[in-house]
A and B are shown apart, each in its own frame.
Chain A
Amino acid sequence: MKRQIFAMVVFVFYMEALAAYAYAYIDPGTGSMFIQAVLAVIAACAVSVGVFWRRLKAFLRRTFSRNKHIDGNSNGNSNVE
Chain B
Amino acid sequence: MSSNSGSFRDPFGKVFTSDGKVFRSIFSPGVKTYEAAKMRGVYEHLIDKRLLISHEETQVDESAAEGAVYCLAHPCLPMVSYPWEWSFSMLKDAALLHLEAMEILVPRGFWLRDASAFNVQYDGKQLVLIDTLSIGKRTPDSPWVAYGQFCAHFLAPLAIAAYCDIRLLSLWRSYIEGFPLDLVVKMLPSIKKYRPGIFMHLKLHSAAQASADKKEDITKIRSSEKIKVGDKGLIGIVSSLKRTIDRTNWKRRSAIWEDYGEIRTYDDPDVAMKSEYVENVIRQLKPKMVWDLGANRGEFSLIAASHGAFVVSIDGDPACSEALYEKIGGEKRITGILPLTMDLANPSPGLGWNSKERLSLSERGPADLVMALALIHHLVLSSCVPFDLIAEWFSTLGNSLLIEFVPPDDPMVKKLLQNRGDEHLPYSLNLFKRSFASFYDFEEEIILNNGRILFLCERSKNKI
Residues of chain A having any CB pair with chain B under 8 Å: 12, 14-16, 18-26, 28-44, 46-47
In Å, the complex CA distance between A34 and B229 comes to: 10
Known: A43-B233, A43-B240, A44-B233. A34 touches B208 (CB 8 A): yes
Interface of B, helix, strand, loop or mixed by DSSP: helix
* A40: chain B residues within 8 A (beta carbon): 143, 229-230, 232-234, 236-237
* Segment of B153-161, B212-220, B344-352 in the binding face: B212-220
* Chain B, range 174-208, C-beta contacts under 8 Å to A: 182, 200-201, 204-208
23 pairs of residues in contact across A and B, judged by CB atoms under 8 Å: A24-B213, A25-B216, A26-B213, A29-B148, A30-B222, A31-B210, A32-B148, A32-B208, A33-B227, A34-B143, A34-B208, A35-B205, A35-B208, A36-B227, A36-B237, A37-B143, A37-B229, A39-B200, A39-B201, A39-B240, A43-B235, A43-B236, A44-B236
Cross-chain contact of B224 among A23, A25, A30 (Cβ < 8 A): A30
In Å, the complex CA distance between A25 and B219 comes to: 11
Nearest chain B CB to A10 CB, angstrom units: 13
Tell whether B172 is near chain A: CB-to-CB under 8 Å. Answer: no
In Å, the complex CA distance between A20 and B204 comes to: 13
Nearest chain B CB to A16 CB, angstrom units: 7
Interface of A, helix, strand, loop or mixed by DSSP: helix
* A47: chain B residues within 8 A (beta carbon): 232, 236
Quick check: A31 and B240 within 8 Å, CB to CB?
Answer: no
Known: A18-B211, A31-B208, A35-B204. A43 touches B224 (CB 8 A): no
* A-B pairs with lowest CB-CB distance, top 9: A43-B236, A40-B233, A32-B148, A31-B209, A24-B213, A31-B212, A36-B143, A35-B208, A15-B207
In Å, the complex CA distance between A60 and B216 comes to: 52
Quick check: B236 and A30 within 8 Å, CB to CB?
Answer: no
* B414: chain A residues within 8 A (beta carbon): none
